[in-house]
Structure 1
Amino acid sequence: MKKKVKTIAASAIIGTSLIACFSASAGSEEAALKSNKITFFGSASSSISSSVAVPHNYHTLSYSGTVPPLLNKDGKTAYERYGDTETQAIGILSKFKDDLEAKGLSMSDVTYLRVYITPDPNKGNKQDYQGWFNAYAKFFNTKENPVKTARSTVGVDSLVNSDWLIEIEAEVNYKGK
């Protein structure tokens, strides 16, 4: 009987603690949703956010599918002309960075990325997701830019140019000036 009472008491304490924890968490998320600042949600251990709340008083800039820059027009292979997936992704993200800076914005204003990756013939005809992840890690979730965007990464059969291994769309949100 004593064991049963202890079990019930322990269950009640744990249950109450969990309810309090979920209530506090829900309360802080609700407050964040009503904030006048962009709020990123998700696990601290993840390199991306699971969701992003953008208040109504922010502007949106959307980049359509952006493809890698040509590195060497005389290259004999796709790698020579455009590079591997990581190199291509770095080229695209660098394009975004330069364009955003020209507009008075930065990579920390990027809130969402949609990424399309094709099979890489030099990687067993499989998408080089790790190459993409490596490129992303140079621009986001860093000391210089702690933003962790919400993101989708999709494997596709091909892109318009067979040399391209990756294409990226971006959503940027910024405060009106």
Structure 2
Amino acid sequence: MRKRALIAGVAAVAISFSAGAGTAAGWWDKPKPPRPGTVAPVLPAGQANPMIASGVGIGANTPIYKTSGLGPSALNTGAPAGSEASYVDTVVFPGGTLPAGVTITEAQGINVLRRIGENLQAQGLSYADVYTMRVFLQNPAGAATADFAGWNRAYRQYFANTDLTTGNYVPVPLGTAAPAKPFVVNKARPSRFALEIENLPVNGWLVEVEVDAAYPAQR
């Protein structure tokens, strides 16, 4: 696959957020490695709700889990097989109908993130344990570029949706609807990159994601 030169949010280095309450300055604010068996994100200073970590430190002897690249499942049997619409999750969007302003990339992103949640759960993990993420986006049919805005709305439904100073969730829009409670309230902010690429390996896919997660230290 040939990567194009569009990059959204590259963060260096590869969550167990059990180290205590966070602040807008980040959980890991000292220039030393995290404790063995833990990971610690470095967050941008002065932001109450940053989207991604600047990087993540990984302590010695930290057990980790890496998923393969995951795409959306073909759950919308009412759409032609292999079409972009066939990868709309009909549990979230009954009948495959998208509400106002919800883009096909946003819908596929939600599908992918739900599959990632299932993958993690099978290993005794959760979204909160994710510390790094790699995202590959393809242009929707007829579009000149990938839909980074739609992907980011999907992402915020599952990650980086709490105010670090108050601990409260931050409402997230679904398409053009008024912001509402996220699907999964989660303060985890993995390091992340998102790339627009020429083609994904499955016809109809617009989103492919892989994540790394750390088993919580108490285990």
| TM-score when normalising by structure 1 | 0.76
Q: Is 1:104 aligned with 2:121?
A: no
The Cα of 1:56 is off from its aligned counterpart by: 1.4
Question: Could you list the per-position Cα deviations for residues 98-155 of structure 1 after superposition, in whole angstroms to 9, with x for gaps in the alignment?
Answer: 2222322110100011000011125x23201011101110011123310111001011
Structure number, greater radius of gyration: 1
1:42 aligned partner: 43
Q: Which runs of at least 4 in structure 1 moved beyond 3 Å after TM superposition?
A: none
Matches within 5 A, 1:56-95: 56-76=60-80, 78-83=83-88, 84-95=104-115
Identify, as 1 or 2, the structure richer in helix.
Answer: 1
1:133 aligned partner: 152
| TM-score when normalising by structure 2 | 0.62
The Cα of 1:35 is off from its aligned counterpart by: 2.8
Paired amino acid for 2:75: L
Alignment equivalent of 2:135, drawn from 115, 134, 159: 115
Identify, as 1 or 2, the structure richer in strand.
Answer: 1
Conservation of the 8 A alpha-carbon contact between 2:64 and 2:213 = yes
Conservation of the 8 A alpha-carbon contact between 1:57 and 1:175 = no
Alignment RMSD (CA, Å): 2.0
- Listed as ranges, the gaps of 5+ residues in structure 2 are 1-27, 89-103, 162-168, 170-184
Counterparts of 1:28 and 1:82 in 2: how far apart (Å)? 41
How many residues in Structure 1 have an aligned counterpart in Structure 2? 149
The verdict on how the C-alpha distance between 1:130 and 1:28 changes in structure 2, with shifts beyond 3 A counting, is closer
Paired amino acid for 1:80: A
The Cα of 1:28 is off from its aligned counterpart by: 4.0
Percent identical residues = 26
